[in-house]
Amino acid sequence: MALSSPGIGSNLDINGIVSQLMALERQPLNNISQKEAGIKAKLSAIGNLKSALSTFQTAVRSLSSESKFQAVRATAADTAVATVSGSGSATPGTYSLEVSKLAQAQKLASAGQASDKTAIGTGTITFDFGTIELGASGSFDPATGKYTGATFKSNGAGVKTVKIDSSNNSLAGIRDAINKADIGVTASIVNDGGTSPYRLVLTEQSTGKTNSMKISVAEGGGLGNLLNHDPGGTQALTETMTAQNAEFKVDGLAISKPTNVVSDAIPGVTLTLAKTNAGSPTSITVTRDTAAVTTAVTQFVTAYNQINQTLTNLSSYNTTTKVAGVLNGDATVRTIQTQIRGLLSAQVEGGGAFSTLSQVGVSLQKDGTLAVDNDKLKKAMESNFNDIAALFAATGKATDSLVSYVSATNATAPGTYAVNVTKLATQGKTVGQAAAALTIGASNDTLEVKLDGKTATIKLEQKTYASADALAAEVQAKINGAADLAGSSVTVSQTGGVLTIMSARYGSDSNVSITGGNGKAGLVGGTPTTTDGVNVEGTINGVAAKGSGQFLTGADKNAAEGLKVQITGTALGNRGTVSYSKGYAYQFDKMIDSMLATKGPVSSRTDGFNESLKSLDKQKERINDRLEQVEKRYRAQFAALDVMLANMTKTSNYLAQQLANLPTSQ
């Protein structure tokens, strides 16, 4: 019979013996655990490296924009009159500013209504926007808010319509319908406290004298009585605020602008006018923001030093303490470190006066860090301020003022490329056969228009137009206001009464034609001259470039591949050069992109460590399965030994007893 507890029969410590034997058997597991701990430490270190690279990339990406290094400071002596800001294209200097009028938007108020809930009428409200022009004897009466002797000239930006039906035909419903339509007019209701207190107030959202409103309701009735408003005719509404431009002087030159935010009066400077100061000019001062450039350069140096320190800590070996960094000797870390340090030794091409960091006071120290010599940086800014941007950011610069650098791709090589134009981009247009008829009625008020590949039917206002210019403005407004032509627009002009309708777009996608409508013959004739637009043609770097509208793009498999420029002006032939540079911050950004890519070195190393951990897990599983069998075998063997020893002990005791009972010899 087997013993129930190991060692009871023989006093043999089977559990202790098996435990010691199994401890020896488990030694391979301990070795694997040590390897596992080492790999996990390296995996964690790779994670820290990935985080450090991402932080470095964020820092250099913010410095890869040209604007970071071309900032200017623009200030107004009297900030109550105007606040100012500047861009890199601003020219340093001092300017005088005198504001006589601020731009404002037109406001119109309706006649009072007893209730804002009572039905008024239905119909379609049409809004047109333009200029109110006073004739020789014309005037505006502020007391009544009405014009006499005035005409309305559409700005041609397009008409807008709002549908009023039985669901929204109260004053409140009309207000909500106008606001919901988002047509550039804000509607509100004001209670003036009178016997019919509710008045609809319409405010044009855009300031400027070309944004006055003309409102018509085709169906008439109560809605028409409330809202029909033509400054040159019936005026149902009262003008409570007149649309006007901002009027001011810069260095004594009179300027008129439709808004109070003006970005084209002083190149590179944006003025936000806030108060008039007629007779008391204030000064605007524009200076280069050297402090911002110094900060940007310092940020670049700091970002580089941080990633350099991280790489050093991970890969170093301390000869004094005999302690190695977690990734000491790791090939991936060595490669990354070599690439990052190697980039600093390369020169930047196409960047103008500077091609190395040392030229602007940034130098590599013996310990591998970067340092800034502020005095040298200051001198560099004083001598070639505009070229510093090219040393850090991706920038492009054309020598021809009518050739503009637009963009480039990763495939574009830094350098200077010649631009030659053989054909200029044009706009699609239709020119009438003869002078247009100025009287529009029910028999000639529609036009079928095809514009940039889209079609629509427009309806002109039925009346006799005072001039061909007025008719041209009406045609332009109706085409530009057509919902089916959204995204495209035209300009309509006249010469000797003959209309020219021109697409605003350039290139082969630009086209405009009058394909039908009862007004076609009277406006442009039966067979007007229609010309489609063409793309610009030319070469960049001596190779035929791809033209699209006014844009030329460098050909594939060429150093200028992806370099995109805009060609304006009228000159053919040689149009100068375009220089393109990829600065250090830009190059670091792209380098880190490749390092952190899905199949990049960091991800590959991470995947390798994870695969090693999976392999070790499988080894541990196999060893544990084997150890389970080994322990069972040991216990079975020692249990058998225990039984055998117990039986031997019994036999020994028996024999001893028998021998003791033998008779003794005398």
CA distances from 160 to 127, 202, 217, 482 (A): 5, 14, 12, 8
pLDDT score for 327:
84
Q: Hey, what are 88's tokens?
A: 């890199």
Whether 33 has a pLDDT exceeding 70, the answer reads yes
**pLDDT digits over 408-441, tens only?**
999 999 999 999 999 999 999 999 999 999 999 9
Over 50: is that where the pLDDT of 184 sits? yes
Has residue 1 got a pLDDT over 70? no
For residues 473 and 475, give the distance between their C-alpha atoms in angstroms, rounded to a whole number.
6
Which tokens in the block code for residue 411?
């495939």
The burial class, CB within 10 Å (0-12 / 13-18 / 19+), for 618 is: exposed
- Predicted confidence band of residue 10 (pLDDT cuts 50, 70, 90): low
* The pLDDT of residue 345: 87
Predicted confidence at residue 2, as pLDDT, reads: 44
Examine the pLDDT at 4 and tell me if it is beyond 50: no
Distance of alpha carbon 280 from alpha carbon 277, whole angstroms: 5
According to the model, what pLDDT value does residue 53 have?
A: 92
Of 665 and 42, which is predicted with more confidence? Answer: 42
- Summarised one tens digit per residue, pLDDT across range 63-112 is 888 888 888 899 999 999 999 998 888 889 999 999 999 999 999 999 99
Mean pLDDT, rounded, for 506-527: 95
Beta strands in 142-260 (DSSP E): 146-154, 160-164, 185-191, 198-204, 212-217, 238-241, 246-250, 253-257
The pairing of beta strand 93-101 with beta strand 282-288 = antiparallel
Percent with pLDDT over 70 in the chain: 98
Digit-coded pLDDT (tens) for 591-648: 999 999 999 999 988 888 889 889 888 888 888 888 888 888 888 888 788 788 888 8
Q: Rounded to 5, what percent of the chain is helix, strand, coil?
A: 35, 30, 35
SS (H, E, C) 564-592: EEEECCCCCEEEEEEEEEECHHHHHHHHH
Q: What is the CATH number of domain 429-531?
A: 2.60.40
Structure pTM?
0.77
Number of H helices, E strands in the chain: 12, 38
Asked whether 109 and 200 are in contact (CB, 8 A), the reply is yes
Residue 245 pLDDT more than 90?
Answer: yes
Q: Break the chain into its structural domains and give their ranges.
A: 14-55+600-661, 72-102+247-288, 107-244, 290-395, 397-425+536-582, 429-531
pLDDT interval class at 3 (50, 70, 90): very low
In contact, 388 and 381? CB cutoff 8 Å:
yes
Question: What pLDDT was estimated at residue 66?
Answer: 85
Q: Are strands 403-407 and 564-567 parallel, antiparallel or unpaired?
A: antiparallel
119 CB contacts (<8 Å, ≥6 apart)?
A: 166, 169, 170, 222
For the segment 10-24, the average pLDDT, to the nearest whole number, is 80
Amino acid at 185: V
Which bin fits 182, alpha (ψ -120 to 50), beta or left (φ > 0)?
left
> Any idea which of 115-129, 272-286, 348-362, 423-437 has the lowest mean pLDDT?
348-362
Question: What are the strands, taking DSSP E only, across 511-662?
Answer: 512-516, 529-531, 537-540, 543-544, 546-548, 551-553, 564-567, 573-582
Task: Output the six-digit token pair for 640.
Answer: 């058998």
Cα–Cα distance, 641 to 619 (Å, whole number):
32
The DSSP 8-state label assigned to residue 429 in this structure reads E
Q: Mean pLDDT lowest for which of 46-60, 95-109, 190-204, 435-449?
A: 46-60
In this predicted structure, what is the pLDDT of residue 28? Answer: 86
Residue 587 has pLDDT above 50, yes or no: yes
β partners of residue 270: 85
